[in-house]
């Protein structure tokens, strides 16, 4: 080899070693930036909170005790556990090791996942419905709902229910989505993690501009609180049976936090503090700060009217009169603060902004640090509108009420006597007397599903109890199925319509399902045919209302907890349009 080429290789090798050494030093000694400035004087206490956390009660790597300990060590005051589709962490709720623990759930639906923060109780039913059902369950269980990882790169995690009704919020930051978008940058995360876990996780962060743009479009219609979700698992699956404990919960909890703005500090009364936290979340009275970049506990955004009254994030401000925005607090030296109105920049400055507001709108703030693709701080909005606009926005965010009386309805005609047969697996039991004559609303006949659902086991993987009518019927002239429902408790049950599909393994029938929720009072249920869905891998892609072969009301271990015993009553089973 020529001497010149040998020399060039040596130079390149030395340059690579020097670059690696500099990178190692930079990573190892990286620390959050220092902050300076006046502490906020807005009268609110800032409470650091982390939500969307998984444990070994679903697909997380650590037990609830371990996760709570990690939260305390990371300086988290409020921890939201949200295991998948269950509330099994309820025994850990309340103050544990100095941390206020709220238990909710991440609900899987065909529209994506819904994060239910702080659910009040663990019901007998399983979470198994569509997006509208999930939002209804979170509301009725006293929680605060958020659309989880709305722009995940995984199709089954991507949220598509943006048209769903109700005052649900939106995850703006999500740890799992960051990791999936990072691509080759995950190699840098893996290289840096042992040197500096906080920096390594920061290296996986990517732009959230599409999420912020979608948030602004939602905010144009109604109030929408924006949340940082840790989506913490501390578990990296290698195979079905092997996984690494990576990354650590402590490191995840030091990344992005939600700073709740409370009128008083946490009192130590778990019930009162839980209510204060959920009220702040529902109102959007908090902001997101990436503490791994710089401590965000000293940030402030307020609007002051001409009488000197101050308003903060989540507040509604009358648009009349002169209004002034004040943004700042304790921030790093190189901070660039951006004030947005309806998504558009109306003010920008270093470290501090104090400007008159140009008119009505949705005002929010981003604080940026050089070299990073996401804002260091994202505030929830302050809403500046007149009374009529506020009311219109409130109505657009309202939960749907009971279904309106249909324009036209008709009872299903049953030739079979009794109309429904009681059917179940070998381990479960049912009351065989199905009909209660003239005991329903308006002296209508009632169909009773009295059940005890057996737990599944090695020899019986699927347990179920059902009322079944196998009469062929044409329902194509109608919009959907309707009935009245009452039970001795809260249950979710499957309402099934079965139509022909020669490719189906279920006796040539495809089972189309929708979920209905019971209460202890009679309620009207209307299920349009469009809400019925199938899990059949050989689906023909459509429900055929003109060829219905069976109408079924069913409970299984995916809809209620095994071992549950109860009674559900149906009346006025028919169709509507």
Query: Each residue of 90-141: pLDDT tens digit?
Result: 999 999 999 999 999 999 999 999 999 999 999 999 998 999 999 999 999 9
Kindly indicate the confidence band of residue 22, based on its pLDDT and cuts at 50, 70 and 90. low
Angle at 399 between CA 49 and CA 159, to 5 degrees: 60
Check residue 1 and give its pLDDT: 59
pLDDT at 243 over 60: yes
Check residue 5 and give its pLDDT: 72
Mean pLDDT lowest for which of 235-239, 385-389, 506-510? 235-239
Mean pLDDT lowest for which of 12-16, 31-35, 44-48, 484-488? 12-16
Query: Each residue of 283-304: pLDDT tens digit?
Result: 999 999 999 999 999 999 999 9
Query: Each residue of 445-469: pLDDT tens digit?
Result: 999 999 999 999 888 889 999 999 9
Residues contacting 547, CB < 8 A, separation 6+? 472, 474, 499, 500
Q: Which domains are delineated in the chain? A: 45-396 (3.20.20.140), 409-576 (2.60.120.430)
Average pLDDT of the chain, as a whole number: 94
- 568 by Cβ neighbours in 10 Å (0-12 / 13-18 / 19+) ranks as buried
pLDDT at 433 over 70: yes
Angle at 169 between CA 151 and CA 311, to 5 degrees: 130
C-alpha 171/C-alpha 151 separation (Å) is: 9
The structure tokens listed for 139 are 């509301």
Check residue 16 and give its pLDDT: 64
Residues in the chain: 577
Check residue 367 and give its pLDDT: 98
Mean pLDDT lowest for which of 67-71, 153-157, 415-419, 529-533? 153-157
Are 107 and 72 in contact by the 8 Å Cβ rule? The answer is no
């Amino acid at each position: 080899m020529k001497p010149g080429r040998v020399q060039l290789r040596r130079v390149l090798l030395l340059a690579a070693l020097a670059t690696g050494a500099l990178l190692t030093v930079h990573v190892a000694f990286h620390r959050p930036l220092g902050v300076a400035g006046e502490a906020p004087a807005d009268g609110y206490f800032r409470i650091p909170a982390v939500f969307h956390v998984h444990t070994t009660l679903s697909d997380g790597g650590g037990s609830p005790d371990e996760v709570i300990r990690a939260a305390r060590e990371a300086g988290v005051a409020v921890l939201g556990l949200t295991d998948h589709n269950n509330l099994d962490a309820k025994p850990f709720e309340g103050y544990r090791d100095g941390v206020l623990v709220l238990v909710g759930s991440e609900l899987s639906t065909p529209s994506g996942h819904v994060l239910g923060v702080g659910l009040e109780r663990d019901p007998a039913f399983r979470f198994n419905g569509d997006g509208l059902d999930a939002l209804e369950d979170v509301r009725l269980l006293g929680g605060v709902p958020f659309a989880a990882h709305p722009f995940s790169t995984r199709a089954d995690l991507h949220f598509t229910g943006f048209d769903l009704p109700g005052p649900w919020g939106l995850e703006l930051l999500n740890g799992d989505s960051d990791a999936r978008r990072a691509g080759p940058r995950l190699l840098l995360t893996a290289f840096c993690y042992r040197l500096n876990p906080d920096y390594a996780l920061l290296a996986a962060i990517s732009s959230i501009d599409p999420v912020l743009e979608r948030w602004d479009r939602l905010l144009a219609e109604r109030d929408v609180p924006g949340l940082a979700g840790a989506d913490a698992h501390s578990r990296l699956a290698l195979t079905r049976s092997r996984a690494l404990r990576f990354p650590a919960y402590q490191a995840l909890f030091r990344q992005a936090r939600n700073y709740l703005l409370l009128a008083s500090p946490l009192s130590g009364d778990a019930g009162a503090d839980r209510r204060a936290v959920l009220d702040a979340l529902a109102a959007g009275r908090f902001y997101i700060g990436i503490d791994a970049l710089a401590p965000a506990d000293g940030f402030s955004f307020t609007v002051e009217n001409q009488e000197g009254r101050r308003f903060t994030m989540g507040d509604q401000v009358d648009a009349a009169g002169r209004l002034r925005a004040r943004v700042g607090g304790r921030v790093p030296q190189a901070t660039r603060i951006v004030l947005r109105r309806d998504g558009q920049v109306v003010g920008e400055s270093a470290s501090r902004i104090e400007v008159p507001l140009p008119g009505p709108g949705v005002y929010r703030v981003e604080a940026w640090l050089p070299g990073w693709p996401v804002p260091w701080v994202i505030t929830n909005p302050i809403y500046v509108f007149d009374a009529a606009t506020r009311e219109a926005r409130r109505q657009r965010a309202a939960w749907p009420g009971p279904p309106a009386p249909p324009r036209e309805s008709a009872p299903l005609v049953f030739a079979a006597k009794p109309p429904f047969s009681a059917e179940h697996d070998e381990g479960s039991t049912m009351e065989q007397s199905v009909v209660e004559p003239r005991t329903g609303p308006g002296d209508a006949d009632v169909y009773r599903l009295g059940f005890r659902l057996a737990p599944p086991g090695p020899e019986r993987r699927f347990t179920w109890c059902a009322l079944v009518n196998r009469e062929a019927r044409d329902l194509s002239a109608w919009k959907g199925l309707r009935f009245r429902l009452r039970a001795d408790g809260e249950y979710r049950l499957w309402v099934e319509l079965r139509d022909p599909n020669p490719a189906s393994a279920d006796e040539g029938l495809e089972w189309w399902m929708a979920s209905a929720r019971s209460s202890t009072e009679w309620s009207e249920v209307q299920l349009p045919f469009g809400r019925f869905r199938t899990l059949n891998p050989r689906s023909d892609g459509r429900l055929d209302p003109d060829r219905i072969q069976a109408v079924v009301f069913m409970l299984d271990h995916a809809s209620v907890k095994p071992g549950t015993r109860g009674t559900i009553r149906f009346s006025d089973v028919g169709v509507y349009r």
